[in-house]
Amino acid sequence: MNAPIKLPSGRIDRRTFLALTGAAAMAGGEAKAQKRGGTLRLSAQSNPSSLDPQTGNSGSDHVILYPLYDSLVEWDYTTLQAKPGLAEKWAYPDPSTLVLTIRDGVTFHDGTKLDGAAVRYNLMRAMSHERSNIKSDLGTVAEITASGQTVTLKLKQPDSALPLILSDRAGMMSSPKAMEEHGRDYDRRAVGTGAMKLVSWADNERVVMVKNDSYWKKDRPLQDGMVFQIIPELPTGLRSVTAGQNDLVYYLVPQQKQLIDRARTLGSAVGPSLLCVHAYFNYGRAPLDNVKVRQALNYAVDREEFNKATHGGIAETTSTILPRAHWACATEYSGTFTYDPDRARKLLAEGGHPNGIDILGVGYAEQLQVQQQEVLIEQMRKAGIRLRWERYTGPPTPAAFFAEKKGDILLAPWTGRPDPSLTYQLVFGTGSYFNAGRGEGAPGLTEALLATRASDDLTVRKEAFRKLQKIVTENALHLPLLFRPELTAYSAKVKGYKPNLLGKPKFEDVWLEG
């Protein structure tokens, strides 16, 4: 139903990319012939915001959630096409009905059965629970019924994106028994059906997992356990792998590739990703409720210089939230906002700020993020924008902006979603957690967003996304900067690691040698 996404080349050297991905594929082949096992030790930059998929608020949570939770639908690493997961098949008997057939014989970590009733419980909770941050994901669902291993979703309107939406947080299945027993404490309990079971979570220190001996995929997991060590500074995380304290570090930035190559004892994987470094706007209040001010911020940034200073010049600069090679990207808008400080000053004056404007940003306190913030301070200063930053560490950073409503902008990566309509829904949709103002950012946006999900015809969807992107760009609803390629480093004993287009590492094919 959902067409493949082409691999965006970005600015990564083609020979390097092919060599690295080829090496990963060879490592995957070795896994079939070698002994599997070991406890995989990973350096994770962020403490989880929650281990409950429905209440978490950080895109970096996914990497830690994936081993604990299976989703109803999965996606292909290179195309992001939907494929069976806990739902072994699905069908649309009519445009407004989606029927899921749930895989039989799957149990949660607490021994309870995954059936249609359990799936219905999860989906209803996602749609209605007061603490759910993913209500908008299932906004087109009107009614859910279950019988045995069958779940039927009646829709308010046709929604071709729903299967891939069910590959994300909304489709991650938790034990209803555990959620009822633990209430709010379920944030820290994590009882899914995944390849790994939660052992412990020590805040800002580590998350420990052990293999699920009753896992429904008979040839998985390949590891005996996983330990995520929370190390906020990426250079420190990389050094921990070089020193042998950890086996793998992910979400590295391009400048660190030379350090990896210099180490010689490390392997690495480079791949294109949907990770967009951008600034979210709170356009629900002044001063960013003024489109002239939002446009001024976009023209005040030299994206090419930002790329050189913060990503070694190899990222893909952008004015949109999808990379140019993505099938849904309206490429005519990818270069809309060129660096023009004089135009930015003029727009500020037209917006009622002839003497410039003060903007408060919320950002991460980690070294590499602070560098990005300082580059923006200097660039925006030339356009009369006096930008200052309030900094936090880890999940409290987005919470300060989206929940506590601090600041005018938040500089943070958007980690992408398998179906592009979910990206637009989560970042710009009315009522979405990641829309700080919660309101409709521009007239017609809601209707345009719904139109992207009304057909499964790729040509129709592409045109719908073009119209949606036109609204987002003309109204400058955020400040997109660049797409960061995935860069992961690992020790020589790590086998089978493969990057994916979403840019969020999965470790289902990874094992340790010796």
- HEC per residue, 54-94: CCCCCHHHHHHHHHHCCECEEECCCCCCEEECCEEEEEEEE
Task: Tell me the CATH class for 14-45+195-272+487-512.
Answer: alpha beta
Q: How many CA atoms are closer than 13 Å to the CA of 385, on its beta-carbon side? A: 37
β 150-155/141-147 pair status: antiparallel
For 197, 207, 221, 302, the CA distances from 210, given in Å and listed in that order, are: 5, 10, 10, 47
Q: Are 5 and 78 in contact, with CB atoms under 8 Å apart?
A: no
* 73-180 CATH, one of 3.90.76.10, 3.30.70.20, 1.10.10.10, 1.10.760.10: 3.90.76.10
β 206-211/196-202 pair status: antiparallel
pLDDT at 136 over 50: yes
Average pLDDT value for residue range 432-459? 95
Calpha distance 414→434 (Å, rounded): 10
**Strand partners of residue 126:** none
Note the pLDDT tens digit of each residue in 300-326: 999 999 999 999 898 999 999 999 989
- Model confidence at 35, pLDDT cuts 50, 70, 90, reads low
Residue showing tokens 């007061």:
130
Give the start-to-end residue ranges of the domains of the chain.
14-45+195-272+487-512, 73-180, 276-483
Average pLDDT value for residue range 52-76? 96
CATH 3.90.1010.10 for domain 276-483, yes or no, is no
Calpha distance 277→284 (Å, rounded): 22
Q: How many residues does the chain have?
A: 514
Helix axes 367-381, 234-242, angle to 10 degrees: 150
Note the pLDDT tens digit of each residue in 325-380: 899 999 999 999 999 999 999 999 999 999 999 999 999 999 999 999 999 999 99
Arithmetic mean of pLDDT over the chain: 92
Indicate the pTM of the whole model.
0.84
Alpha helices, DSSP H, located in 212-301: 234-242, 257-263, 291-299
